[in-house]
Amino acid sequence: MLDNELNEYISKIKKLEPFLTESRWDRIQNTIKNRTLNIVPVLEHIYDRGNISAVMRSAEAFGFINFHIVERPDGQFKTSNRVTQGTDKWLKIKKHKETKKCLGELKERGFKIYATHLNATVAIDEIDFTQASAVILGNEKEGVSEEALEMCDDTFIIPMFGFAQSFNISVAGALCFYHIHKYRLEKMGSSGDLCEKDAAKFTLEYMCKSIKGAEKILNYNK
């Protein structure tokens, strides 16, 4: 039997569906099919807000909706709409003050912790991303902190074939997410793996963000 929470989501979805165009409904359904909560990008102490926003945009594009940010001690995170073009509203962003707390929470939830690192001996191709995984991208100057590296299950490199030693953080993020999405697609048949309740929950959330006055519609004759 469906639980009460799922039943409520389905009821609200049916109430809002007539207010969506067919193309928008199809877009939401296709997006939901490619969403996962089991791949979590983690940005640690990034300097450039534009880089943060660009990585957020790539994460959303590949369906990785849980997004963690370990803030720099000397500043607050602010989104850059110029770069994200509003994609941040489709993400579940969680901010942390401390790396240890962020990664500790993820480990408690069963996530494997990986980081990009220049001295890694494992290529990204060798990591099993069918399991719940968090991927840390470090700041533009020092990279991933020693504190984070100590908590990692493994580190990996993105293969490069020129003289440059590293990619820009936003480029590294996009390459990682593309590879992870492709890897999961090949191994699992789909990168998306939301359970029925989560799929209904996010469907309703996206409908509410797509329909002007959605709350009023839901509350009418409640």
Q: Are residues 100 and 204 in the same domain?
A: no
- 121: confidence class by pLDDT, cuts 50, 70, 90: confident
Q: For residue 199, what pLDDT is reported?
A: 97
Q: Are residues 201 and 174 in the same domain?
A: no
Q: Are residues 80 and 136 in the same domain?
A: yes
Instruction: For residue 1, give the 3-state DSSP assignment.
Output: coil
Number of structural domains in the chain: 2
Amino acid making up residue 207: M
Reported as a single tens digit per residue, the pLDDT across 137-186 is: 988 788 899 999 999 999 999 888 887 777 889 999 999 999 999 999 99
Q: Are residues 182 and 201 in the same domain?
A: no
Q: Are residues 78 and 147 in the same domain?
A: yes
Q: Are residues 202 and 127 in the same domain?
A: no
CA 66/CA 96 separation, integer angstroms: 13
Q: Are residues 151 and 218 in the same domain?
A: no
Q: For residue 83, what pLDDT is reported?
A: 41
**Domain around 215:** 1-35+194-222
CATH of the domain at 105: 3.40.1280.10
Report the alpha-carbon angle 85-91-96, nearest 5.
110
- 2: confidence class by pLDDT, cuts 50, 70, 90: low
Q: Are residues 162 and 89 in the same domain?
A: yes
Q: Are residues 101 and 137 in the same domain?
A: yes
Q: For residue 163, what pLDDT is reported?
A: 74
Q: Are residues 27 and 44 in the same domain?
A: no
Q: Are residues 22 and 91 in the same domain?
A: no
